[in-house]
Amino acid sequence: MTTLLRPARTVLVSSIILSLALPAAAKTPVATGTGGAVATISEQASLAAIAILNQGGNAVDAAVAAAATLGVTDPFSCGIGGGGFMVIYLAKDKRVITIDHRETAPASFTPTVFLKDGKEMDFDTVVASGRSVGVPGTVRGWHEALDRYGSMSFKQVLAPAIDVASKGFKVNDTFSHLVQDNETKFALFPATAALYLRNGKAIPAGTTLRNPDLAKAYRELASGGVKAFYSGKMARAIVDAVNSNSGSITLADLSNYEARLRQPVHSTYRGYDLYGMPLPSSGGVAVAEALNILEGYDLKSLPRAKAEHLYLEASRLAFADRNAYLADPEFVDAPVAGLLNKDYAARRRELINPTQASAQAPAGDPYPFQNDMSVPLRPNANKLIAEGAHTTHLTVSDKDGNIVSYTYTIEAWGGSGIVVPGYGFLLNNEMTDFDFSGPAPNVPEAGKRPRSSMSPTIAFKDGKPAFSIGSPGGATIITTVLQTIFNYVDLGMSMPDAVNAPRLSERNGMATDVEPNFTGSAQAQALEKAGQHWSKTPEEIGAANALVFNPDGTVTAVSEGHRHGVGSARVQKSAH
């Protein structure tokens, strides 16, 4: 590397690339050490975060670097064509901040946008079209995070991702299978087919995939900042891509987009203080309500199956409320205070039979527990839809104790399927997170953000960071975060065991979702004795990433040990 005569910034960028090229320790899903730490589902993304930390960047800088790299290596889960929710702990100020950069409905949206002749349109047809695309929030979110809480520029933090996008990376089995599953959708859009299909078929595992168009998009952000995305050529390309595929979005929709800094949802559980994502994500409220219900039991004294039965029942009740009440707080007066109230949880707990599973639960009445005079909305619960593991979650800490817990997405695997021509990124289908018909708080409206389930969480004990946790997986995100906390706090598992344990997702449906090989296991049979039963289509649930702040001052980064092709945990200075 001949960097001597280059200007300072180029030297920095080159050395980031150099550090990425250095031989690193082997990929591992668990790592303990000091300094900063990171857990993501992508080796390149975790390396990008560590490179930025080694350059003196903080957790926010490193989180954006990892997220941008995930946009290259995991483009079907996330990217600049989508949005997300970031929870940040600032150690010096002892503050938790959240940045909502959820995709937003264009001004053309109305509550009937997904109806035709009074009937709901076909879900999959809407997904694979411009109708499902919301105004992307990712770039605005990264901008707010870096500008307010980071220490580096877009140019610096995007350098590792630009490097991976330009030089390419090896497509793995998970990546190739995801393309295979989406061949029909991707074939509809020429720019998508050109990038991910070869003669109409998925690019095979082992291929080195370059994405020069995405590298170009990132370079434009590196030089032009947030404006390069929300106005000018890239914005016009987005508008054209959406509107030529039955959507209706304008340049004004893009230039008007704002991220929101929101007060986190704060709850307590057995001596922990939990900070999670507020509305428009239902994640923080639903996790907190379920934990409040569980707190009334001495779970540690119970056999595992009895405790897990209670976990499933608490989750069912929290989901009944989540489905009935929660939506974008700028449009709907949701009874959040009531839902988070411990006395309300006690009322909900009375409905649980400790030895018998209940049928689908109706929503409760949180209004008597609501300490404000909000207008009640009592709509019908919406129906359940199948959830995959789309989306991605990453978590980073730095040597100064700052922490980021960040979930971001383009919604379904491959989002709408529309790659923006010339820019190499997929547009989201987040608008299908709205209910297609009402009455419901979560119906589509102009400028509204669809209800999410993303649940990036940071937990504290005695005022000090204890752990962070989050996952992808649509509405199963809530149950994955809830179950991992339950496994860790109540069942006393180590965090790697808590993450790797079989996942059970009860969302007030007809049956609990489980993973392959669970049905028939001793654990399943023990729960069946209480009437629990399982869906017939087991699928991998979630892809969690966590950090644990150990009493000896070390940090343990924890990723998946077997799901999603195994994740990547790294620390700046290994303890071993």
Residues that bind ligand GLU (CB under 6 A): 387, 390-391, 409, 411, 430, 433, 452-454, 472-474, 477
Q: Which helix (H) or strand (E) holds 457?
A: strand 457-461
The answer for residues whose C-beta is within 8 angstroms of residue 284's C-beta and 6 or more apart is: 264, 265, 267, 275, 276, 277, 278, 455, 457
Question: Annotated binding residue at 244?
Answer: no
Question: Annotated binding residue at 553?
Answer: no
Using CB atoms within 10 A of its CB, is residue 526 exposed (0-12), middle (13-18) or buried (19+)? middle
Task: Closer to ligand GLU by CB, 323 or 452: give it.
Answer: 452
Smallest separation (angstroms) from ligand GLU to the CB of 326? 11
Task: Closer to ligand GLU by CB, 338 or 473: give it.
Answer: 473
What is the distance between the alpha carbons of residues 494 and 471, in angstroms, rounded to a whole number? 17
**Exposure b/e, 170-197, CB count within 10 A at least 16 = b:** ebbebbbebbeebeebbeebebbbebbb
- Known catalytic residues? 391
With both helix axes pointing from N to C terminus, report the angle between 59-73 and 154-167 in degrees, rounded to the nearest 10.
Answer: 20
Question: Annotated binding residue at 433?
Answer: yes
Asked if residues 372 and 55 have their Cβ atoms less than 8 Å apart, the reply is: no
What is the distance between the alpha carbons of residues 81 and 135, in angstroms, rounded to a whole number? 8
- In Å, what is the CA distance from 125 to each residue of 128, 147, 191, 201, 280? 5, 39, 19, 21, 25
Smallest separation (angstroms) from ligand GLU to the CB of 91? 28
CA-based torsion, 375, 376, 380, 386: positive or negative = positive
Per the omega criterion (within 30 degrees of 0), is the bond before 439 cis? yes
Task: Closer to ligand GLU by CB, 134 or 150: give it.
Answer: 134
The token duo for 478 is 């809530």
Task: Closer to ligand GLU by CB, 323 or 409: give it.
Answer: 409
Smallest separation (angstroms) from ligand GLU to the CB of 407? 8
Give alpha helix (H) positions in 256-393.
Answer: 283-294, 304-325, 336-340, 342-349
Please count the other Cβ atoms lying within 10 Å of the Cβ belonging to residue 533: 14
For the chain, count helices (H), then strands (E). 20, 21
Smallest separation (angstroms) from ligand GLU to the CB of 221? 23
Smallest separation (angstroms) from ligand GLU to the CB of 342? 26
Smallest separation (angstroms) from ligand GLU to the CB of 430? 6
What is the end-to-end Cα distance of the chain in Å, rounded?
31
Asked if residues 111 and 379 have their Cβ atoms less than 8 Å apart, the reply is: no
Task: Closer to ligand GLU by CB, 174 or 452: give it.
Answer: 452
Give alpha helix (H) positions in 326-437.
Answer: 336-340, 342-349
Asked if residues 428 and 134 have their Cβ atoms less than 8 Å apart, the reply is: yes
Strands 457-461 and 95-101, by their bridges, are unpaired
Of 546, 325, 548, 559, the residue nearest 442 (C-alpha): 325
Task: Closer to ligand GLU by CB, 321 or 387: give it.
Answer: 387
Smallest separation (angstroms) from ligand GLU to the CB of 426? 13
Smallest separation (angstroms) from ligand GLU to the CB of 515? 16
Task: Closer to ligand GLU by CB, 85 or 488: give it.
Answer: 85
Strands 545-549 and 95-101, by their bridges, are unpaired
Question: Annotated binding residue at 453?
Answer: yes
Per the omega criterion (within 30 degrees of 0), is the bond before 354 cis? no
Task: Closer to ligand GLU by CB, 496 or 542: give it.
Answer: 542
Asked if residues 303 and 309 have their Cβ atoms less than 8 Å apart, the reply is: no
Question: Annotated binding residue at 452?
Answer: yes
| Residues annotated in a binding site for L-glutamate | 102, 433, 452-453, 474
| Residues annotated in a binding site | 102, 433, 452-453, 474
